[in-house]
Chain A
Amino acid sequence: SAVISQKPSRDICQRGTSLTIQCQVDSQVTMMFWYRQQPGQSLTLIATANQGSEATYESGFVIDKFPISRPNLTFSTLTVSNMSPEDSSIYLCSVRPSTRGLRADTQYFGPGTRLTVL
């Protein structure tokens, strides 16, 4: 498995502002993912972030609203831009370790960032 940390763990923000969430992993990983979990809901994939390439966004999510950086194999950031109350959610990063010999499709999740937009 991988140990994943996220900063901040929670924040309360004003509408119209932006927040950058950091995700740090204790080992090098190929694949990193960002998910949103709206209150009482399941998880929805926002984008897949590979090191050295542009993030791949899912339908309904755009780079201008959720820009992502992936500068190296242990770190990524997600920015929630021009926030509105509808962006209040838990944002989670996850990783799929680069393993050999095992089916490398298990994802491990960070503790999440709980965002409230007023």
Chain B
Amino acid sequence: DIQMTQSPSTLYASVGDGVAITCRASHSISNWLAWYQQKPGKAPKLLIYKASNLGSGVPSRFSGSGSGTEFTLTISSLQPDDFATYYCQQYNSYSFGQGTTVEIK
């Protein structure tokens, strides 16, 4: 099975900051990677698919990059609505990373 490892587990930042979250796969997954945002008590929302494609209605401050085993989700300028938990998912065998929580510094 493919294991997904996210870092950091928690990220402290301020409104306006640029932040990056990394996701590493235990085996190459080409660009078969998605990123999701989840807020407390809510279902996840798809942000990025195929590693770098923006989901429907997702603001352009979100971007994704990478291929093979290393991937990055970047938020160019954090907005108050962006404080949430983010997950990567590979869709070879569908496993998720453990999540990264973005909190207010």
Q: Say whether A and B bind each other.
A: no
Residue ranges of B at the interface with A (Cβ–Cβ < 8 Å)? none
Residue ranges of A at the interface with B (Cβ–Cβ < 8 Å)? none
